[in-house]
Amino acid sequence: MKIFSGIQPSGTLHIGNYLGAIKNWVKLQQDNDCVFCIVDLHAITVAYDAKKMPQRIFELAVDLLACGISPQKSILFVQSDVKEHTELGWILSTITPLAELERMTQYKDKSGQHKENINAGLLCYPTLMAADILLYQTQAVPVGQDQKQHVELTRTIAHKFNNTFGETFVIPKPLIYNTGAKVMSLTDPTKKMSKSAGPDSYIALIDEPKIIAKKLAKAVTDPARKRIADKGHPEKCNIFTLHQLFSPAKQISKIDKDCQSAKIGCVGCKKILTKNIAQELAPFRAKRQELLVSPQTVKDILANGAKQAQNQASSMASKVKQVMGLGLSS
């Protein structure tokens, strides 16, 4: 199956990115044709520091490789290195109804958070994302729940294009797994985990075990459980949900029972979780250290990825221009 997905270079990765997307990418690359993209052009739709961007891109590449993305199995590249993304992004914006863009949840959220900088790029974000996906004849797009709406809009755009100009694009499907598709904030479990609510609200992949322990100690649990003697409701507790994502099955069912019968308190439960998260992330942290000292290797992987991506993207872009009667190609 042809797979495409992307991620923004917007700072450190958190366990939401890992569980909702990257962990699945690593599995999918074993027996699929995968293309993974560092979407720097999406990241500039909010205010950013141009001097810091190269390091952000580099560190995201390091992190993806340290998580297990393999350049032998997948194509890994930076979006702005393949100019067809912006070209097709523009083209698709001309067939996308404004109302569709205005109703996107992410646009509403981000324009609320960045009132001083509601730029047209923020609105057209999904048409660029559609271009990313459609350039590669993508069949499936592994993402977390928050990106589902954008992939659905991509399907609508692709259908419209095919109906207007003739069968051109493969219609992609969102690939969303039952577990980890929406990891919630540590400080407000009614909201998804994201960097915008500050470092206490998320666990970063680079967090040392001590930091993980500190953040989990402050994390919100079952609100109905005030004292250790109160019986807990694991199904209502974000910490228990995280256990389901990081702990072995036997331990999960023991914690479930012990919490309901007040045999274990929140402190004990969080200690076990800290250990399990730290253990799962230990190989990542070790590999990351190795890669950080070999910047040329990482840059070569991205350059080679861009070449391979460009090959695929340019033939699709030519086809699009040809069916639309654009340029000298037609």
**Annotated active-site positions, please?**
110, 192, 195
Q: CB of 285 within 8 A of CB of 126?
A: no
Please identify which residue in 63, 84, 87, 132 interacts with ligand TYM, judged by CB under 6 A.
132
Q: What are phi and psi of 302, to 5 degrees?
A: -70, -40
Least distance between ligand TYM and beta carbon 160 (Å)? 18
Helices (H) and strands (E) in the chain, counts: 14, 5
Least distance between ligand TYM and beta carbon 126 (Å)? 8
Q: CB of 85 within 8 A of CB of 135?
A: yes
Please identify which residue in 3, 8, 222, 298 interacts with ligand TYM, judged by CB under 6 A.
8
The residues in 194-253 that bind ligand TYM, with binding defined as CB under 6 A, are: 194
Residue with smaller CB distance to ligand TYM, 146 or 280? 146
Q: Does residue number 133 form part of the binding site for ligand TYM (CB under 6 A)?
A: yes
Q: Does residue number 189 form part of the binding site for ligand TYM (CB under 6 A)?
A: no
Q: Does residue number 192 form part of the binding site for ligand TYM (CB under 6 A)?
A: yes
The residues in 36-75 that bind ligand TYM, with binding defined as CB under 6 A, are: 39, 42
Residue with smaller CB distance to ligand TYM, 180 or 232? 180
Contacts within 8 Å (CB) and 24+ apart, 240-249: 240/269, 241/184, 242/15, 242/183, 242/273, 242/277, 243/269, 243/272, 243/273, 243/276, 244/179, 245/15, 245/19, 245/179, 245/180, 245/183, 246/273, 246/276, 246/277, 246/280, 247/272, 247/273, 247/276, 248/276
Residue with smaller CB distance to ligand TYM, 18 or 274? 18
C-alpha–C-alpha distance, residues 304 and 147, integer Å: 28
Least distance between ligand TYM and beta carbon 101 (Å)? 14
Binding mask 142-171 for ligand TYM (x = CB under 6 A): -xx-xx--x---------------------
Q: Does residue number 259 form part of the binding site for ligand TYM (CB under 6 A)?
A: no
C-alpha–C-alpha distance, residues 24 and 2, integer Å: 14
Please identify which residue in 3, 16, 23, 34 interacts with ligand TYM, judged by CB under 6 A.
16
Please identify which residue in 38, 66, 140, 141 interacts with ligand TYM, judged by CB under 6 A.
141
- Among 175-183, 208-216, 293-301, 304-312, which window interacts with ligand TYM (CB under 6 A)? 175-183
C-alpha–C-alpha distance, residues 219 and 217, integer Å: 6
Residue with smaller CB distance to ligand TYM, 61 or 133? 133
Residue with smaller CB distance to ligand TYM, 46 or 213? 46
Q: How many residues sit close enough to ligand TYM to count as binding (CB under 6 A)? A: 27
Q: What are phi and psi of 36, to 5 degrees?
A: -120, 135
Identity of the residue numbered 137: Q
How far out from the chain centre does Cα 290 lie?
23
Q: Does residue number 131 form part of the binding site for ligand TYM (CB under 6 A)?
A: no
CB atoms within 10 A of CB 314: 15
Identity of the residue numbered 66: A
C-alpha–C-alpha distance, residues 78 and 58, integer Å: 10
Please identify which residue in 26, 60, 64, 183 interacts with ligand TYM, judged by CB under 6 A.
183
33: alpha, beta or left? (left if phi > 0; alpha if psi -120 to 50)? beta
Residues lying near ligand TYM in the complex (CB under 6 A) are found at 4-8, 16-17, 19-21, 39, 42, 129, 132-133, 141, 143-144, 146-147, 150, 181-183, 192-194
